[in-house]
Each structure stands twice: as structure tokens, then as C-alpha cells.
Structure 1
């Protein structure tokens, strides 16, 4: 395992996002979520936020979080991992691949639900900006200060939070950007800490297995809610600003 926590976070994300069970296809996800919606074509093109309020999407997020929490606490999800994920990730335990893989999966789903465009190009390796956005999503789930700014890097559909701008040139410097370094290091620390915790639970297999499932179940819900609240609050502010602009444009 890399001693540098920022490197650990990057390697973990790079490895996990290659897994089909972790990488979320925006178009397929939205088709499933809004399959009966008459505005499906528009949702696929412009995002759900073009047709739903922040509060409506927040309600949908609760159902999405509940589904992810249930799956995260089930050992059956390991069937979707490669035969030896440790070679790919270098994190030290299959449980870590499961835990952070599902966290990253839920983060992508919530981002797309609230209007995010494609987070990455499926035909190429992650760019620094794409990796930064994924780091931001994970960081926001863990409550890392400043993570919000990274979520909106290069986004076409989601505006940056008001008062939370990051200069484009600085963003493209990738690892040189202090915010990316800070968030990445904190996420890496979480991964390292989780690895140590999982190693301890393995000391007694039966109890360890139960403990691991309970910890996953208990931690996943607040993580999902934290990110959903952040995305919903930002969207609500954007929608309110848009509505105010429309009102001011009306002839008096």
C-alpha cells in the first residue's frame, strides 16, 4: 500500500472505476430511473434537474440511497468483483474494494440524478480533471472540507456552487492544485483507516463478517445523505437564481 495517501486515493479510484459494477453509465442509469417519464428524451439530454425540482430529486435520492445501502451490506456484491481485485487496487483487502467501489458507484448515481453530465470518457483513461471530480464526490460523502468545489470541474450541466469557484488553469494543474491534494489525501486516509479496521475484524471470521456488514450498513446511509443534501442544496440555489432571473426579465 502506498504511504502517500493522495497516491493511494488516486490508485484506488483508477482501479475501481475500471470495474463494470462500479462504473455507472449515465444514459442507462437515467433510463432506469425515469423509464416511465414522458420527458425521458429531454432528461437524457439535459438532465433530470431540467424537469424536476431539487426537493423532488432529493426524495428520489432517498430511495436510491436505501437501495445502495442494502446492496452494500450484502456479501453477494463480491460476486461482481474480479477474482483478485487486490492486484488491481493494491489496497490490501477485497472488502476495501467492495466498500469504496460501492461508495463510488452511489456517488456517481447521485451526481447523475441531480443533473451531472458524464463524469468521464469511457474510452480513455481518467484525466486529472475527471479524477478530481470523482475525488470530490467521495470527499463530499466523507464530509471533507472543500470537496464540493472539485465535483463541478469541467461540468457542462451543473454550475459551480456560488462563492466556491476554482480557477480553470489551476484545476488543470492536477496534483499541484492544493484542494485536490487536500481532498485526495483525506480520502486516502479514509481508505487506509478502513483497511486497518477491516484487518482487525478478520481476526475472528464469524464476528468479523457480521461487524463488517453492520459497519457498512451504518456508514453508507449518512454518506449518501450527506452528498445528496449537498447536491440538492446547490441545485435549489441554482433553480431559485434561474427563477429570479426569469422574473426580472418579465416586462413591468
Structure 2
């Protein structure tokens, strides 16, 4: 009975899917490699080096440059997520028990990818350790809040803004563990996780219906991903770009601005 209650708890359901998605191959973004590649056409070598060693904001990279890079990443991840979602829709009704959970994990995996990319562009620190270990509690907390922003929850917006202000004020290079795991933001993380668990169930149902008819189901599934993923990614981009952490440092007097 106790196990059943855990499974049915929306917060636990979301946390389990988040953990599964984070463990999928290709989900974790190498911060340094991503920043170097995405800024290569727009920034000087010195700006790129400082963006990696510190943050894009500390490097003084203009907001419009970061916004263009973010838009490119959103387009890429949206196209990739939609194509894979459509492919997962092909088996049809007989394969539903296998494809629906996999598709949901895959969808959340792509949400994790764009969340990391946008976070790194707008000066958040590395979210995953380099030794390949699972996400720590602070990372799970901030990713939950990022997802909450993508789903349009105001409490998540406020909490992410609060964390950003803490880090900007302290010039912190790591997530504030205490605030995200035990402090003032933690109750918001739990509330947002519960909300996302409910929303996730609704999405699972929608995808189940869309996959009931082969081929047609593939088109509907891919379209459903396209129409939901891109607006959510843009919502996160808009929020992160306006936070304290993303405010570019003032350029050194006499310094030539880099071409956009």
C-alpha cells in the first residue's frame, strides 16, 4: 500500500522521470564545448575563453549575441525532438506500453538539453559534475524550477529569479545548495515538482491517444512535440535572459566590440 502511494504521488512521479531523462545518452551538455561552438561565429577568442572560464556575462558578451545563439539552439533542439517524437509514434497501438514511457523520457531529455544550453548562455554554472555521477539535489532542484518556468508556473519564475539574485550578489560559481535543498526555495521546488507530475500525466495521455493509429499517429505525435516544445523553450529563454546573472559586464574603455 505504501509503495502504491509513492508511485501515485505526482512529485515522486516527476522526480523519477527527471532522473531517468538525465541518464539518457546525449542528454548532458558539455558546458565548455557548447559555449565554444555556439559562440565561435559571434565572439572573439578572448571572449569565448572568458565565457568558459567565468561566464558569458563576465565576458561582457552583448545580450543580443546571446539571444541569437539561444534562438539557434532552440530551433535545433525543437527540430530534433519533433523528429524523434514522430519516429517513436510509428509502431502504433500494439507497441504503446513500450513507446509511450520511452517517448516521454525522450521528450523530457530534450527539455533538459535546451534547459542546460540556455542556462549556460545566460551565465548559470555547470549543472552536472564531470565525473558522470547523477545530478545532486541542488541540480535536481534548479532543473525542476527551470521546467516549471517552461510550463508557465509563476512560483517557479519567482524562485529562479531569487536564486539568480543570490548568485549574482555573491558572484557564486556554484548553485546555492542550502537554498535549493533545505532553505526558502525548497518548498517551491516540491510544489513545482508536484504540479509537473500532474501535467506529465496529462501529456502522457495525449501522446497515448496520438499513437493509437500508426503513421497518422506519428505525424500527430511529432506535431504535438513541435507545438509544445518550442514555446516552452522560448519561455525559459525570455526568463533567463532578463535575470541578474545574465547582465553583461561593462566593456573595458577603448575595447573594440566583437562582431555579432
Q: TM-score range by the shorter chain?
A: 0.7 to 0.9
**Among candidates 126, 140, 144, match of residue 135 of structure 1:** 144
Alignment of 1:70-149 (within 5 A): 70-75=79-84, 93-123=101-131, 124-149=133-158
CA distance in 2, matches of 1:76, 1:237: 32
Please say if residues 129 and 172 of structure 1, whose CA atoms lie closer than 8 Å, have aligned partners that are also in contact.
Answer: yes
Please say if residues 129 and 154 of structure 1, whose CA atoms lie closer than 8 Å, have aligned partners that are also in contact.
Answer: no
Return 149-158 or 97-106, whichever deviates more. Answer: 149-158
> Do structure 1's residue 2 and structure 2's residue 10 form an aligned pair?
no
CA distance in 1, matches of 2:64, 2:179: 33
Please say if residues 123 and 245 of structure 2, whose CA atoms lie closer than 8 Å, have aligned partners that are also in contact.
Answer: no
TM-score by length of 2: 0.75
**Among candidates 213, 220, 228, match of residue 211 of structure 1:** 220
Q: Secondary structure, in 3 states, of the residue corresponding to 1:57?
A: helix
Judged with a 3 Å threshold, the aligned counterparts in structure 2 of structure 1 residues 54 and 181 are, in CA distance, closer, same or farther, namely same
Judged with a 3 Å threshold, the aligned counterparts in structure 2 of structure 1 residues 138 and 76 are, in CA distance, closer, same or farther, namely closer
Please say if residues 22 and 102 of structure 1, whose CA atoms lie closer than 8 Å, have aligned partners that are also in contact.
Answer: yes
Please say if residues 133 and 152 of structure 1, whose CA atoms lie closer than 8 Å, have aligned partners that are also in contact.
Answer: no
Judged with a 3 Å threshold, the aligned counterparts in structure 2 of structure 1 residues 110 and 76 are, in CA distance, closer, same or farther, namely same
**Among candidates 29, 32, 57, match of residue 27 of structure 1:** 32
Q: Please give the root-mean-square deviation of Cα atoms over the aligned residues, in Å.
A: 3.2
Judged with a 3 Å threshold, the aligned counterparts in structure 2 of structure 1 residues 127 and 24 are, in CA distance, closer, same or farther, namely same
**Among candidates 205, 223, 228, match of residue 237 of structure 2:** 228
Tell me which residue corresponds to 2:16: 11
CA distance in 2, matches of 1:110, 1:69: 13
CA distance in 1, matches of 2:239, 2:142: 14
Aligned residues: 225
Structure 1 gap segments, 5+ residues each: 80-89, 161-166, 244-252
Structure 2 gap segments, 5+ residues each: 1-5, 89-97, 170-175, 251-260
Please say if residues 136 and 183 of structure 1, whose CA atoms lie closer than 8 Å, have aligned partners that are also in contact.
Answer: yes
Please say if residues 72 and 99 of structure 1, whose CA atoms lie closer than 8 Å, have aligned partners that are also in contact.
Answer: yes
Return 114-123 or 70-79, whichever deviates more. Answer: 70-79
Return 104-113 or 59-68, whichever deviates more. Answer: 59-68
> Do structure 1's residue 58 and structure 2's residue 67 form an aligned pair?
yes
Q: Deviations over 1:6-28 (max 9, x none)?
A: 11111111111122321111111
CA distance in 2, matches of 1:76, 1:177: 33
TM-superposed deviation, 1:173: 2.2
Q: Deviations over 1:73-108 (max 9, x none)?
A: 1138979xxxxxxxxxx9952211121111111111
TM-score by length of 1: 0.77
